[in-house]
Chain A
Amino acid sequence: MDNGVSMERAAAAGAGARRARLPGFGLVLLALCGLGLLSTRARAPSPETLTPAPLPQLLSETGLYLPGTTRVDPENLGFVPQYPLWSDAAKKQRWIRLPERQAIDAKNPDAFDFPVGTKFWKEFGFGRAVETRFIERLPDGSWRFASYVWDSDGREARLAPEAGVRAVAPLGGGVVHDVPSLDDCRACHEGRKSPVLGFTALQLSPVRDALAPHREHVPTASVTLSDLARRGVLVNLPRQLLETPPAITGGSERENALRGYLYANCASCHNRQGPLAVLGLDFDVSVLPGAQNSLRASALGKASHFLPPGRTQASRIDPSDPLASVVLFRMQSRNPTYQMPPLGTRVADAEGVQLLTRFLSQDLSNEN
């Protein structure tokens, strides 16, 4: 490929990187690469391999940790998205595991294609580890979702029922954290092209947005876009995204950060590809050339389907009365029938609300 890191070169780089660990297989891997036998997509599985084993009952059986310990297997790569999802101030850790000799196809940098067998984990902590969510790509190409609830002694986490678990941790003020149901997992994760959220070119950019709410420190051991490409486990990424790390541009720094925030917190449902595309509200962000500012295009001055109580008309973002915008009303609310996002949070995000409020009351007001 002329405009990207080629599959062959990257796979060869990956094979080379692994040669030190697998000295006997280096030449074989290189030969396989040359024959084009390694790819990001698994070869067609036989019917008997399409049926996955049941989900393990224990987190320790999913491959996250070294056997017999709670130390993360070094084959599992930690990562930190630059725009974290607000989850009521949960402290989070995230890891990805790729199957041996497989790579992520980044031809579409907004929606990576992951090889069969890819696993993700995300640990949620409120003072202690409370739950670890798990996503795995199955041989038939589908994904399965699960959550494991930690024992109070922090030694093991156990598979949660599909209905979820109520009140696994207090958040203060009588509010509790719930482990989501499988339906709620799917409601967020199946709303766009890739069910993997928080692992895109934009989210893994090595250059971070300084105004991103709840931005997290990126430990040295965590991987970014360039690390993954260098390791040879991310292929076909458009070359310009390695030369110029992906970032949201085009507006003020505050507006760019707000778009990143809405991308992480809202665009899993409100995008132009998924089931809610019919609403015409699009908070998605693309790093592809020529992408438009969909926040302004789909929200600014657009009538809201939802009307706050007592209102007979309202705009998603109201340029004439910015603080009356429905987006702000719903972000501030934690009434279950009004709040946005509608699930996964019980406490309004003061930092996110502040960013939006400042955009509305300062940036937008100054344009009028």
Chain B
Amino acid sequence: MKTTSIINTLNALSALTVISGVALAAGCNETVNEKRGTPPTQVVHAAQAQPDSKPSPMSQAERVRLGEHLVATSACHDCHTPWKVGPNGPAPDMSRKLSGHPEGMVLPPAPPPSGPWIVSAAATNTAWSGPWGTSFTANLTPDKETGTGAWSEQNFVRAIRTGRHMGQGRPILPPMPVPVYQNFSDDELKSIFAYLQSIPAIKNRVPAPLPPVAAAAPS
């Protein structure tokens, strides 16, 4: 089906989206920049040792610290934390850290893809529309009903490995850069999950994705 192939292609392309997202974030996200400026050195060494050697066991605290570092440096906040306009311009609203698209935010229908402009994004960076439909970024906080609180570590790792929701469900949609994150080692993914489980739970039910809107006729 056309939609599935579009999802696959755009998932690969979404790496580019995230790179530009990182560039955008670099200019205006103080909180994230502070963390990037002071990475936990010992944790970085552990991460670098992953691919070829058996990692030394990490304590839970070390896992959480590595996970926090990876989340901060891998653009997770750029889409999973809603953005708002502050005194320095747009920046992730850390009071809603990683809670995904705000459930109370009612959006008008996205503009249909037109010509080379095939992707639209809401100002929060949490709602994206393109040929795959409209996707809303997930609540990654450990809320049991609306976030990842009921997930197991295995669900999370498999989600990234397979590109499917919880590792077995629907395809994870653009702009989530699954192909990029598939380069993480299992230990790194487990560390990210450990960190996500350690942050405050925020109850926020993210809407289900919407089907594609009809493409606008070329003018």
- B3 interface hit (Cβ, 8 Å): yes
Contacts of A307 in B (CB 8 A): 205, 207-208
- A364 interface hit (Cβ, 8 Å): no
- A74 interface hit (Cβ, 8 Å): no
A268 closest partner in B (C-beta): B168
A187 closest partner in B (C-beta): B168
A278 closest partner in B (C-beta): B150
- B33 interface hit (Cβ, 8 Å): no
- B203 interface hit (Cβ, 8 Å): no
- A94 interface hit (Cβ, 8 Å): no
**Contact yes or no, B3 A336, CB < 8 A:** yes
- A308 interface hit (Cβ, 8 Å): yes
Binary A-proximity of B19-61 (CB < 8 A = 1, otherwise 0): 0000000000000000000000000000000000000000000
- A99 interface hit (Cβ, 8 Å): no
- A276 interface hit (Cβ, 8 Å): yes
Contacts of A346 in B (CB 8 A): 1
- A184 interface hit (Cβ, 8 Å): yes
For A306, give its contact among B133, B167, B208 (CB under 8 Å): B208
- A142 interface hit (Cβ, 8 Å): no
Task: Tell me the count of chain B residues lying within 8 A, CB to CB, of chain A.
Answer: 32
Contacts of A305 in B (CB 8 A): 145
Contacts of B166 in A (CB 8 A): 275-276, 279
A84 and B166 alpha carbons, distance in the complex (Å): 25
A298 and B24 alpha carbons, distance in the complex (Å): 45
Contacts of B158 in A (CB 8 A): 187, 275
Contacts of A183 in B (CB 8 A): 161-164
Binary B-proximity of A119-141 (CB < 8 A = 1, otherwise 0): 00000000000000000000000
**Contact yes or no, A335 B168, CB < 8 A:** no
Binary A-proximity of B77-92 (CB < 8 A = 1, otherwise 0): 0000000000000000
- B155 interface hit (Cβ, 8 Å): yes
A184 and B164 alpha carbons, distance in the complex (Å): 9
Binary B-proximity of A323-358 (CB < 8 A = 1, otherwise 0): 000000000001111110011001000000000000
**Contact yes or no, A337 B170, CB < 8 A:** yes
A126 and B207 alpha carbons, distance in the complex (Å): 37
**Contact yes or no, B168 A275, CB < 8 A:** yes
- A91 interface hit (Cβ, 8 Å): no
Chain B: minimal CB distance from A163 (Å): 10
With contacts A184-B162, A306-B208, A307-B207 taken as known, whether A275 is within 8 angstroms of B1 at the C-beta atoms is no
Contacts of A184 in B (CB 8 A): 162
A355 and B149 alpha carbons, distance in the complex (Å): 35
- A206 interface hit (Cβ, 8 Å): no
**Contact yes or no, B162 A275, CB < 8 A:** no
- A191 interface hit (Cβ, 8 Å): yes
Identify which of residues 259-273 in chain A touch chain B, using a CB-to-CB cut-off of 8 Å: 269
A346 and B162 alpha carbons, distance in the complex (Å): 19
Chain A: minimal CB distance from B173 (Å): 7
A336 and B205 alpha carbons, distance in the complex (Å): 21
Chain A: minimal CB distance from B8 (Å): 9
A166 and B6 alpha carbons, distance in the complex (Å): 13
Chain A: minimal CB distance from B98 (Å): 18
Contacts of B173 in A (CB 8 A): 337
A75 and B154 alpha carbons, distance in the complex (Å): 38
- B215 interface hit (Cβ, 8 Å): no
A188 closest partner in B (C-beta): B168
Contacts of B5 in A (CB 8 A): 166
Binary B-proximity of A97-110 (CB < 8 A = 1, otherwise 0): 00000000000000
- Other A-B pairs, 17, CB within 8 Å; known A186-B162, A278-B152, A336-B7: A166-B5, A174-B1, A187-B164, A187-B167, A188-B168, A276-B166, A276-B168, A276-B169, A278-B150, A279-B166, A309-B210, A337-B208, A337-B211, A338-B170, A342-B165, A342-B168, A342-B169
16 CB < 8 A contacts A-B: A174-B2, A175-B1, A176-B1, A187-B158, A187-B168, A188-B168, A278-B155, A279-B166, A307-B207, A334-B1, A335-B133, A336-B4, A336-B7, A336-B171, A338-B208, A339-B170
